[in-house]
Amino acid sequence: MFQPVIIAGGVGTRLWPLSREKYPKQFLTLTDSKHSLFQDSLLRLQGLSHENPLVICNEEHRFITAEQLRQIDQVNAQILLEPEGRNTAPAITLAALKALEKGLDPVLLVLAADHVIADTAAFHQAIEQACILANNNHLVTFGIVPMHPHTGYGYIKCGQAQLPYGYRVDSFVEKPNSELAQHYLDSDKYYWNSGMFMFKASRYLEELKLYQRDIYSACKKAMNEQRPDLDFIRIDQEAFCACPNDSIDYAVMEHTKHAVVVPLDAKWNDIGEFAALWDVAQRDEHGNVTKGDVKALDTQDTLILNEDKLVATIGVQNLVIINTKDALLVAHKEHTQKVKEIANQLQTENRPEASTHREVYRPWGKYEAVDQGKRFLVKRITVKPGGKLSKQMHHHRAEHWVVVAGTAKVMIGGEEKYITENESVYIPIAQVHSLENAGKVNLELIEVQSGSYLGEDDIVRFEDKYGRN
């Protein structure tokens, strides 16, 4: 038995404009699977005996995480919220401390939420082998059998001593240049560093205290102030934010004398860029990967993902074309690692395209901005059954709600009423109001905002079933 720990932080900026700060790549459906990468990271553990998973995510993604767990019936998973991203070593430390609270010392299987692993049987076999080593007090990392001289991954060099199912780690190596990567491939002594680990919770903490006690102390202090919040576990923000920002490789694995590597040949990919997404996707006879309304003429080895409008290409090759409702990316496949630079520029300029999509998810459902002018904003709103917008008011805008499908329970100024299809209501500026879907099907409505300021921060909440301020 082991306990899965899913690290679900990160924003995947090299997959912009699909992946954005408030809805990053781990929650997207990017492969032929019907599920998101995060959901697949849990579903591929089916068939193995394990404890309920623990998910580490940040505050911004808590409701997305909970909803995606609900969709795959993982209702017993615990969700621990990081007040701020501090890299993998602190996240795993939180998980290890949480795992020890029941007086047991489980083996932790630490997985990233955004990996693709096509060969589940080989993955299961490697986990079972690693579990034996972890129970013998080794700190196990999974080394991906390299397929080509990749310069975007760190590498793990095997030592001379061979153990059952694995090797002692000689060293962790930074991302190499192409010549050095070819040397690593030819030597048969190097594996790609997968960022997946397996060890007893206590053994990890022992090694952490030995090499990076500041991380242990900060996380221990933060965990001493736990408090439940709906489906989530919150920790002390001030204590955790004082924690050093460090990866598990730098904090522990590069120093410990107990690191071992288990080879993993399971068609693994971390989908770190669009070229990698093209690698794992099913291609047509011309080497193209297309999704959405696409017409490709004399086009080869190109990735075209289209969410909006018809996209047509003629006489191009080796391109990445990503078309969303508010952004278009065109790049050569050999330069897709530079997409992160565009995302960083947008972040610096405070462009909304860096952080949010046109379609924004909320715990009660979602909304999409349809049209916007200087003093108006039109949204399409979907409220799921049982969903309820907070009891709120706005200082600068009035709102009109027109129900398209379903029935809405509306409260305006203390008066409650039901409105259904083709009916509408008006909410004046500064009027306290709320909206609820008390039915069994989705509630669809059009919201028209008008006023001098239409920002999302013009909300004064008086009551919220999801605990938002």
Mean pLDDT of 267-271: 93
DSSP string, 180-208: HHHHHHHHT-EEEEEEEEEEEHHHHHHHH
The answer to whether residues 37 and 168 belong to one domain is yes
Domain boundary pick from 269, 294, 329: 269
pTM of the model: 0.91
The answer to whether residues 327 and 393 belong to one domain is no
The answer to whether residues 260 and 309 belong to one domain is no
44-49, long-range: CB within 8 Å, 24+ apart, which pairs? 44/117, 44/120, 44/123, 45/4, 47/120, 47/124, 48/2, 48/124, 48/127, 48/128, 49/1
Under DSSP, the state recorded for 326 is S
Q: How far apart are CA 460 and CA 421, in angstroms?
A: 28
Nearest alpha-carbon partner for 352 in 326, 334, 330, 378:
326
The answer to whether residues 384 and 408 belong to one domain is yes
The answer to whether residues 291 and 185 belong to one domain is no
Mean pLDDT of 128-150: 95
pLDDT band at 163 (very low <50, low <70, confident <90, very high): confident
Residue 424 domain-assigned (yes or no):
yes
pLDDT in tens, 180-225: 999 999 998 999 999 999 999 999 999 999 999 999 999 999 999 9
pLDDT band at 313 (very low <50, low <70, confident <90, very high): very high
Number of domains in the chain: 3
Range of the domain at 376: 359-463
Question: Would strands 391-393 and 397-405 be described as parallel, antiparallel, or unpaired?
Answer: unpaired
What's the mean per-residue pLDDT of the chain? 95
pLDDT band at 468 (very low <50, low <70, confident <90, very high): confident
CATH number at residue 407: 2.60.120.10
Q: How far apart are CA 39 and CA 41, in angstroms?
A: 5
The answer to whether residues 319 and 427 belong to one domain is no
Nearest alpha-carbon partner for 445 in 400, 411, 394:
400
Q: How far apart are CA 4 and CA 51, in angstroms?
A: 7
CATH number at residue 215: 3.90.550.10
Residue 405 domain-assigned (yes or no):
yes
Which residues make Cβ contacts (< 8 Å) with residue 398, sequence separation at least 6?
A: 426, 427, 428, 429, 449, 450, 451
Q: Is the model's pLDDT at 469 over the cut of 80?
A: no
Give me the amino acid identity at 399: E
For position 238, what pLDDT does the model report?
A: 95
Record the tokens describing residue 220, joined without a space.
Answer: 């221990």
For position 67, what pLDDT does the model report?
A: 92
Residue 325 domain-assigned (yes or no):
yes
pLDDT in tens, 413-433: 999 999 999 999 999 999 999
The answer to whether residues 325 and 377 belong to one domain is no
Residue 277 domain-assigned (yes or no):
no
Record the tokens describing residue 160, joined without a space.
Answer: 């001379």
Residue 469 domain-assigned (yes or no):
no
The answer to whether residues 108 and 165 belong to one domain is yes
pLDDT band at 456 (very low <50, low <70, confident <90, very high): confident
Residue 82 domain-assigned (yes or no):
yes
Q: Is the model's pLDDT at 467 over the cut of 90?
A: no
Residue, of 221 and 11, whose pLDDT is higher: 221
Residue 176 domain-assigned (yes or no):
yes
The answer to whether residues 176 and 94 belong to one domain is yes
Residue, of 210 and 467, whose pLDDT is higher: 210
For position 4, what pLDDT does the model report?
A: 98
The answer to whether residues 167 and 93 belong to one domain is yes
Domain boundary pick from 226, 245, 269: 269
The answer to whether residues 14 and 54 belong to one domain is yes
Domain boundary pick from 269, 299, 320: 269
The answer to whether residues 100 and 14 belong to one domain is yes
Residue 201 domain-assigned (yes or no):
yes
Query: Does 17 sit behind a cis peptide bond, omega within 30 degrees of 0 on the bond before it?
Result: yes
**Beta bridge partners of residue 398, listed in sequence order:** 450
Under DSSP, the state recorded for 250 is I
DSSP H/E element including 133: helix 120-135
pLDDT band at 406 (very low <50, low <70, confident <90, very high): very high
